[in-house]
Chain A
Amino acid sequence: MKIRIKFAKYGTMKFIGHLDMMRFFQKAIRRADIDIKYSEGFSPHQIMSFAAPLGVGIESYGEYMDIEVLSMASTQEVKDTLNQVMVEGVEVLSVTILPEHVRNAMASVAAAAYSIRMKDGRFPINDLEKKLQDFYNQNTIPYTKETKKSTVELDLKQGIYELRMEPDDVIYMLVNASSSGNIKPTMVLEKFCDFAGVEIPNEACQITRLETYTDLAENEEEQKFIPLAEVGTVA
């Protein structure tokens, strides 16, 4: 039986990297004595798949991982026993049973929603709402992505599905998070700062991932984003 675990990661835990979070959960699953399925061989490992990795320094209320269990009393019990062995800053939000043949968390990620706020005070940008609108209304938002081997020219506009201000000086964005077209919120922030003519170091902002979505649209032109947790059932 495949189950999907949604969790939050915040506070000091934002400094724990993706691989270490996987290790953390492997140990937590043992502490909680969850009847997880293991691979064969001399060093058996737990069958586990994480959705989109989260950068160090970013908080999240929409992290996901899928595991395969051999047995369990109920999803509620899995959630409760896991929460008993968490640390401050990691919290299991929901556990759902995945229908057969659903793609794993990693493969099904299509988009993610983020908020960005200044850690101290407000964004140093006049007319923020209008500037953000003007930025988003451009036909293209070219971005040069430097990788170790090459530089790639991207158009961010294609991958920004929503961009707007929320109350209390918070920028909200819904962006492509699929393995092929992943857009990091810092990329959008960087281009927007250029556009607004200000410089804001990444560390001055707190970025929070709000949710991770999969796309259930039937054809390529449409999009039907739903949170990863809503694919499964609670039992």
Chain B
Amino acid sequence: MRKLALSDDILMQVEKPARYIGNEVNSVVKDKEQVAIRFAMCFPDVYEIGMSHLGIQIIYSMLNEWDDVWCERVYSPWVDMDKIMRKNHIPLFGLESQEPVKTMDFLGITIQYEMCYTNILQVLDLAQIPLYAKDRGEEVPIVIGGGPCTYNPEPIADFFDLFYIGEGETQYRRLFDWYIENRDRGGTRRDFLRGAAKIPGIYVPQFYEEIYNEDGTIKGRKKLYDDIPDTILKEIVMDVTNAHYPSKPVVPFIKVTQDRVVLEIQRGCIRGCRFCQAGQLYRPVRERNVDKLKEYAVQMLRNTGHEEISLSSLSSSDYSRLDELLDFLIEDCGQRHINISLPSLRIDAFSLDVMSKVQDVKKSSLTFAPEAGSQRLRDVINKGLTEEVILKGAALAFEGGWTRVKLYFMLGLPTETEEDIKGIGDLSNKIAATFFDTVPKDKRVNGKVQIVTSTSFFIPKPFTAFQWAPMCTKEEFLEKAYQTKRGIMEQLNQKSIKYNWHEADLSVLEGVFARGDRKIAEVILEAYKRGCLFDSWSEYFHNDVWMECFENCGVDIGFYTTRERSDDEIFPWDFLDCGVTKEFLLREWKKAKTETVSPNCKVQCQGCGANRFGGGICYESRQIT
């Protein structure tokens, strides 16, 4: 029987002890004497969130397939456990072996959103690993960062030994082989990092220095060694069909956010929404073969026993064999009493038909994401969804029996005016009116229509056309939310419309981290030391503390958020190359300002630069429309 790292006494005191005991179905336990490399794979948030992440399941499964590697999982101990571990000096441990992370070779941290930065420090701290990479001795695990936030790693660069830029499937073997080689020949930590810096996709921040202009912008970068690269190109898997896929995902005992089989149907997105970072980072689009997907679906359902399956991709409606795949799943899963949870599909006759087969129309809701209230602004952001299409889709849906609609918008987009904001209320109203026009009184199932309109605040992200754009202040954001609210209140059908908006404080902070440089690290550390943790959980977010930390560190928030960047400004992330060129993004930024749309990759290539990877959509024949 495995021995747990924590005593019964402690486990009985905390909420959900299952977060800390491991032993889940499909978790991998190996003989530590038989492996050369021990890897702790961490998602720096609570177990239920981290366990829901597909990327970790992929890497976990891939690494454990190698006989000489044992990969374990680590999550942020929840606040109750955090206190106990600190008080009793219990080192953070891997769930599988229950042994301290500090005894392992690597600690890999996936960084999915900016608001987990203090949790990264918590994980390092509880693991008893020095927070700054430069302070780490020979015996300390190598700390690796990966995931979307590493496309601007600079705010957290000081805390990592290296970043793995891009898709995880490609370079781990090479990194491990070099690690073993270096260890066998008695090389030091620094020797390892020097060699690692030459592996494609690997960025070792301590070998580079940022040089600033007097106004605080970046003048350039200096590297410590001549033989390491100036820019680092992202890693990418071109043959996604034959890439490793976790056919036996770990099945948690407790209910987690994604308590289901997740089938990743494609990577990338053909649509060039100008606010969307993922749409640029993961270019070009690469589809998985539909037969392979069917096979994976069956295998994963059998190996996990999950009662639900969902599809994952940035824009599932664009997957070319979607109808075939869904037909198969509806048939196969229906027989086995497995629910299909559909990602948000573009609303049309096809998707409505599919949805009516897999969910209870009366209880489910439809989702539209127009993102902006007016056609003008939708052209600016290149969101190719028109009012006509939305209203037509809504009318079809209402005829089909749906009565609930969710609408998502962003506030604070570049060039936004009061008119655009007013458009949010108008569009919500028109959808409500469509219901009353299409559904006769005696056929109204729940008697009424429910529209939930939500807005989030726009945050400019690196590697998007809007990376040059100024972000709003908190006050501006709130004023826009009030305007939206007033706009909705004025509508004829306002009783059918519910309005939600996000908190502005968190958005401002996210904005700083998103486009921050190395000067931000000090603020993050200071905030962590003053108790900030789980910032993405509103009940634990302390904006006042954060503001004091910026003040104390002399870091001006406006410099990172509200400042408009000149066309030729050097950004902290410019040394990374995600395939899409800066020239393309600048072109898109200028087109945005003239309200000019760009067709998607299937209609016409925009020459973004991602064709250099030599595959995917860039080399498929264009659709004739």
Contact of B605 with A by CB under 8 A: no
Interface-forming stretch among A9-17, A175-183, A189-197, A219-227?
A: A9-17
Contact status B8-A20, CB under 8 Å? no
| In the complex, chain A residues 33-81 whose Cβ is within 8 Å of any chain B Cβ | 33, 38, 42-44, 46, 56-57
Instruction: Provide a sorted-by-A list of 17 A–B residue pairs whose CB atoms are within 8 angstroms.
Output: A12-B2, A12-B21, A15-B18, A16-B254, A26-B307, A30-B301, A31-B303, A31-B305, A33-B302, A44-B337, A56-B12, A85-B25, A87-B24, A88-B1, A119-B8, A202-B12, A203-B9
C-alpha spacing A77/B24, complex, angstroms: 24
C-alpha spacing A15/B307, complex, angstroms: 23
Q: What's the minimum C-beta distance from A46 to chain B, rounded to whole angstroms?
A: 8
Interface residue range, chain B: 20 to 34
Contact status A203-B23, CB under 8 Å? no
Which of B21, B307, B336, B360 sits near A27, CB closer than 8 Å?
B307
Residue among A12, A16, A27, A33 facing the most chain B CB atoms (10 A cut-off): A12
Which chain B positions have C-beta within 8 A of A16? 18, 253-254
Contact status A87-B359, CB under 8 Å? no
Q: What's the minimum C-beta distance from A91 to chain B, rounded to whole angstroms?
A: 12
Which chain A positions have C-beta within 8 A of B25? 27-28, 31, 85, 87
Which chain A positions have C-beta within 8 A of B4? 12
Given A15-B21, A20-B18, A203-B8: A88 and B305 within 8 A (CB)?
Answer: no
C-alpha spacing A31/B305, complex, angstroms: 5
Contact of B58 with A by CB under 8 A: no
Contact status A30-B11, CB under 8 Å? no
| In the complex, chain B residues 314-360 whose Cβ is within 8 Å of any chain A Cβ | 336-337, 339, 359-360
Which chain B positions have C-beta within 8 A of A28? 25, 305
Contact string, B234-268, partner A, CB cutoff 8 A, digits 1/0? Answer: 00000000000000000101110000000000000
Q: What's the minimum C-beta distance from A215 to chain B, rounded to whole angstroms?
A: 32
Q: Which B residues fall within an 8 A CB radius of A? A: 1-2, 4, 8-9, 11-12, 17-18, 21-25, 251, 253-255, 301-307, 336-337, 339, 359-360
Interface residue range, chain A: 20 to 34
**Whose C-beta in chain B lies nearest to the C-beta of A89?**
B23
Which of A12, A27, A89, A203 sits near B305, CB closer than 8 Å?
A27
C-alpha spacing A222/B25, complex, angstroms: 45
Contact status A31-B253, CB under 8 Å? no
**Whose C-beta in chain B lies nearest to the C-beta of A13?**
B23
**Whose C-beta in chain B lies nearest to the C-beta of A201?**
B9
User: What 8 A-B pairs come out closest when comparing CB atoms?
Assistant: A27-B305, A30-B305, A31-B305, A15-B17, A42-B360, A44-B337, A203-B9, A12-B21
Contact status B253-A12, CB under 8 Å? no
Contact string, A80-112, partner B, CB cutoff 8 A, digits 1/0? Answer: 000001011100000000000000000000000
C-alpha spacing A45/B253, complex, angstroms: 18
Which chain B positions have C-beta within 8 A of A145? none
C-alpha spacing A89/B302, complex, angstroms: 22
Contact status A203-B12, CB under 8 Å? yes
Contact of A149 with B by CB under 8 A: no
Which chain B positions have C-beta within 8 A of A113? none
Q: What's the minimum C-beta distance from A230 to chain B, rounded to whole angstroms?
A: 29
Which chain A positions have C-beta within 8 A of B17? 15, 56
**Whose C-beta in chain B lies nearest to the C-beta of A44?**
B337
Which chain A positions have C-beta within 8 A of B24? 87
Which chain A positions have C-beta within 8 A of B336? 30
Which chain B positions have C-beta within 8 A of A85? 25, 305
Contact status B8-A42, CB under 8 Å? no
Which chain B positions have C-beta within 8 A of A38? 337
Which chain A positions have C-beta within 8 A of B12? 56-57, 202-203
Contact of A148 with B by CB under 8 A: no
Which chain B positions have C-beta within 8 A of A119? 8
Which chain B positions have C-beta within 8 A of A33? 302
11 additional A-B residue pairs with CB within 8 Å, beyond A16-B18, A30-B305, A42-B360: A11-B1, A12-B1, A12-B2, A27-B25, A27-B304, A27-B305, A30-B307, A85-B305, A87-B23, A88-B2, A202-B12
